[in-house]
Amino acid sequence: MNRPLFCVFDTALGVCGIAWRESEAKDGPPVLVFLQLPCESEKQTEETIAAGAKAEKARRIPEHIAVIVETVRLHVKGIVQDFSGIAIDLDSLGVFSRQVLAACRDIKAGSTLSYGDVARIIHRPGAARAVGHALARNPVPLIIPCHRVLAANGGMGGFSAPGGVAVKARLLALEGVFLKGGKG
């Protein structure tokens, strides 16, 4: 399998990064392997995605990836986008994590589920805590919208991306979801 490539790009949230690998199918589009939400600096975002995706910096960005970058930019600007058609490689994750992420991928913008709801969807009703752990390993937050999963009481729950629950609240607010206390 070929080594992933990455690039970083400016967004309304800050500098994000995206990593992909070429498709194994002849003439197939690149497959997304990692999305890095903004870190403290562009350099830190670059270092984090390079290490997390085991990727090297791309010399050029394929058109298919440029379209995904623009889609991310629009979304975090407040023009809600549908990421469901983006090909993602989750092969490095276990079966449970892939099931959790598949269930989360179906959560539409403006909607939320609880960790327990996701556990029930994948037929593991007692696994709410494990769902949270699987979401913490989501390699493509935003594309697989783990920010749309909340605590059972309607509270924020956790968010392992840089910026933590403040970024989760901002992403939810962009989609019209505002939680108790006026925070998204």
Please, what is the average pLDDT of the chain?
93
Asked if the model's pLDDT at residue 182 lies above 60, the reply is no
7 is catalytic: no
**Averaged pLDDT for residues 6-31:** 91
For the chain, state the CA radius of gyration.
Answer: 16
- CATH fold of 95-182: Arc Repressor Mutant, subunit A (1.10.10)
Alpha helices (H) along the chain: 42-53, 63-76, 95-105, 115-121, 128-136, 164-174
- Determine contact, residues 18/69, Cβ cutoff 8 Å: yes
Q: Which of 16, 39, 104, 146 is catalytic?
A: 146
pLDDT digit string, tens, across residues 97-148 = 999 999 999 999 999 999 999 999 999 999 999 999 999 999 999 999 999 9
Higher pLDDT: 150 or 160? It is 150
Looking at 22-31, 33-42, 96-105, 135-144, which range is the least confident one? Answer: 22-31
- The rounded percent of the chain whose pLDDT value lies above 90 is 82
Its pTM surpasses 0.75: yes
Inter-helix orientation angle 164-174/63-76, to 10°: 90
Rounded to whole angstroms, what are the CA distances from 87 to 57, 94, 105, 126, 147?
20, 18, 12, 30, 19
Sheet containing strand 14-21, strands side by side: 31-36, 14-21, 5-11, 56-57
